[in-house]
């Protein structure tokens, strides 16, 4: 699979280096057989992406189609800047709506960078307290529930014992005032989603030792134009947060990934 793309701007060399790393690892898994052997415990200890992550990305790219995927907006973001650049680039996507349903699926929620972690937690808590926001976080971080203990009514945190194969943020923004009554019941009306201003942000696989992360972002409206359509794509992405004993947990115990 050819994954060639150009980068411009002041960060183009850094972006190109990150992209080459993703592309090379992707192609190794793409060209491998159905059963892939790898040292799972070592990969976890070193923070190295498992082959399963690239298997999921191959399925994702096939759903979108390569040409569409290579045109997506991509940002290279450092987790060691004084501010959380994820918020600088994408925070505005969350700020402009009073009714929002936001889902994070991540590893440890910036646990190793306290400034960034605190900034994101404060940002989310502020909006939960002042707006009709619903927040769901799926993470391996066992301490995150304590940070959101006062927001339990509006925030659901699920701690999982396994690595997520796909890290992402889904931002659903709702424009209709009809959602005032819906939000009190703990659920928004999906028919009222503003598809032009609701977004999917995907984090490409990365080794934890690297400070920079690649993110791709597109709107729900963009997803409608993909061959798979918005609903099928969202269903596939959200399915990745669920535990699949046969396809994920059990094979990894035997240092195995299955396509």
Residue 119 lies in a domain: yes
Is the model more confident about 38 or about 159? Answer: 38
Look at residue 59 and tell me whether its pLDDT is greater than 50.
yes
CATH number at residue 159: 3.30.870.10
**Structural domain boundaries, residue 218:** 12-258
pLDDT of residue 182: 47
The Cα 195–Cα 240 span in angstroms is 22
Residue 37 lies in a domain: yes
Task: For the chain, give percent helix, strand, coil, nearest 5.
Answer: 45, 20, 35
How far CA 188 is from CA of 92, 119, 156, 175, 247, in Å, comes to 21, 26, 15, 11, 32
Residue 4 lies in a domain: no
Q: Mean of the pLDDT values across residues 249-257?
A: 87
pLDDT digits (tens, 9 = 90+) for 155-175: 888 888 888 899 999 988 887
pLDDT of residue 159: 87
Look at residue 61 and tell me whether its pLDDT is greater than 80.
yes
Q: How do strand 155-159 and strand 167-174 relate by DSSP bridges?
A: unpaired
- The structural domain count of the chain equals 1
Residue 6 lies in a domain: no
Mapping DSSP to helix (H, G, I), strand (E, B) and coil, where does residue 33 land?
coil
pLDDT digits (tens, 9 = 90+) for 196-216: 889 999 999 987 666 678 889
pLDDT digits (tens, 9 = 90+) for 216-230: 999 999 999 999 999
pLDDT of residue 102: 87
The Cα 63–Cα 52 span in angstroms is 17
Residue 158 lies in a domain: yes
Residues above pLDDT 90, as percent of the chain: 34
Residue 135 lies in a domain: yes
pLDDT of residue 174: 83
Look at residue 134 and tell me whether its pLDDT is greater than 90.
no
How confident is the prediction for the chain on average, in pLDDT? 83
Residue 1 lies in a domain: no
Alpha helices in the chain (DSSP H): 12-30, 40-46, 51-64, 66-70, 85-95, 114-130, 144-147, 179-184, 220-224, 230-239, 250-253
Between 20-29, 84-93, 250-259, the lowest mean confidence (pLDDT) is in 84-93
CB 224 within 8 A of CB 230: yes
Look at residue 177 and tell me whether its pLDDT is greater than 70.
no
pLDDT of residue 80: 64
Residues above pLDDT 70, as percent of the chain: 81
Look at residue 181 and tell me whether its pLDDT is greater than 60.
no
The Cα 54–Cα 19 span in angstroms is 13
In angstroms and rounded to an integer, the radius of gyration of the C-alpha atoms of the chain is 18
Residue 5 lies in a domain: no
CB 156 within 8 A of CB 144: no
pLDDT of residue 183: 47
């Amino acid at each position: 699979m050819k994954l060639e793309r150009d980068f411009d701007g002041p960060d183009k060399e850094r972006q190109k280096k990150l992209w080459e790393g993703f592309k090379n690892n992707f192609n190794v898994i793409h060209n491998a057989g159905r059963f892939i052997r790898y040292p799972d415990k070592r990969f976890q200890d070193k923070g190295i992406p498992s082959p399963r992550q690239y298997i999921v990305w191959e399925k994702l790219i096939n759903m979108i189609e390569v040409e569409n995927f290579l045109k997506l907006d991509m940002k290279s973001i450092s987790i060691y800047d004084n501010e959380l650049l994820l918020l600088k680039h994408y925070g505005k996507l969350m700020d402009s709506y009073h009714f929002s349903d936001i889902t994070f699926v991540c590893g440890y929620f910036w646990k190793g960078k306290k400034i960034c972690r605190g900034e994101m937690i404060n940002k989310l808590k502020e909006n939960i307290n002042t707006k009709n926001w619903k927040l769901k976080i799926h993470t391996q971080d066992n301490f995150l529930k304590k940070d959101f203990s006062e927001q339990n009514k509006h925030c659901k945190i699920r701690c999982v014992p396994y690595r997520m194969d796909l890290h992402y943020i889904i931002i659903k923004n709702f424009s209709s005032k009809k959602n005032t009554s819906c939000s009190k019941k703990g659920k928004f009306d999906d028919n009222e989603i503003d598809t032009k201003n609701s977004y999917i942000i995907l984090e490409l696989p990365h080794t934890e030792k690297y400070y920079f992360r690649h993110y791709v972002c597109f709107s729900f409206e963009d997803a409608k134009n993909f061959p798979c359509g918005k609903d099928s794509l969202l269903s596939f992405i959200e399915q990745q947060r669920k535990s699949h004993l046969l396809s994920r947990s059990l094979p990894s115990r035997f240092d195995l990934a299955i396509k």
